[in-house]
Structure 1
């Protein structure tokens, strides 16, 4: 019941308070800067809340993150090295969805550790700090396996997406 109430009571206004223009600009700049340190591609998406049919259908934040990964074309990179950071704001739930290029390179536990750090910051309503921390941590993981290349190009938008 708590989940339903949290999702139904979280509004676009809540989203704008947590992720105002300054914060969105900071996230965009951090993603752009991080992509100079590696050849991976990062996306950041925030969904305000799930609607009632999704809640009644038992849709999880993970399922929505996978859907967002597909709909935002995060998978559509030359080296299969896109990573989506997805936040379901109503639940303060972070999910990281990484393309197949990371299989066998970065463990689920490593991604989950980043999620927990971000969620701890978000629980304190430190949305910008939590987002920037996550971007730094994920960029470090990406750089270990996908160093920068001279011919690298920015394949995906850096601006956070508000779903």
Structure 2
């Protein structure tokens, strides 16, 4: 059943995340990074390829691969956060670099995923993505009080479509 979802959801990324939505997410990330020291990367994947499905790759495992591939871990203050969406599995994963992961509890990341999932389940992908970016930003601001971004923008703000 999972393989069928992945075969049929492969082209759904652009339909659910059109250019207007990608622009809104990009602007939200850029504004967020002016207020807090984290670097947020938003990545969306429609479906996994057959080799990954054959190996039973989970959304969490794939999120870690994407985290490494996009070099989210490679920020000056170890403050990178990946929001990863795998549409075919209806999965949302957040992977944080060690500087932030040491301060934010897993249940807080899960609450962000749940918030996004509520929006996505009703077809409101832009609202869900923006709510997720805002919630991640608020967590970073809370755990790094008095620290602002505004410096170098180390990672691209444009959402990545995989």
Is the shorter-chain TM-score for this pair beyond 0.5, marking a shared fold?
Answer: yes
Give, in whole Å, the separation in 2 of the partners of 1:43 and 1:97: 10
Please point out which of 72, 89, 92 is paired with 2:90. Answer: 92
5+ residue gaps, structure 2, are none
Q: SS at the partner of 2:76?
A: coil
1:10 aligns with 2:9: yes
Asked if structure 2 preserves the Cα contact closer than 8 Å seen for 1:106 and 1:141, the reply is: yes
Q: SS at the partner of 1:36?
A: helix
Give, in whole Å, the separation in 2 of the partners of 1:71 and 1:56: 21
Give, in whole Å, the separation in 2 of the partners of 1:92 and 1:136: 20
Give, in whole Å, the separation in 2 of the partners of 1:114 and 1:40: 16
Please point out which of 69, 79, 82 is paired with 2:80. Answer: 82
Change (3 A) 1:27 1:150: closer
Please point out which of 46, 66, 69 is paired with 1:68. Answer: 66
Give, in whole Å, the separation in 1 of the partners of 2:150 and 2:137: 19
The number of residue pairs the alignment matches comes to 161
Instruction: Give 4+ residue runs of structure 1 displaced > 4 Å after superposition.
Output: none
Q: Which moved more, 1:66-75 or 1:47-56?
A: 47-56
Change (3 A) 1:150 1:156: closer
1:43 aligns with 2:52: no
* RMSD between aligned residues: 1.3
Asked if structure 1 preserves the Cα contact closer than 8 Å seen for 2:35 and 2:149, the reply is: no
Deviations 1:67-126, CA, capped at 9 Å, x for gaps: 000000100101001000000011221000000002331000000110111112111111
TM-score (norm 2): 0.95
TM-score (norm 1): 0.94
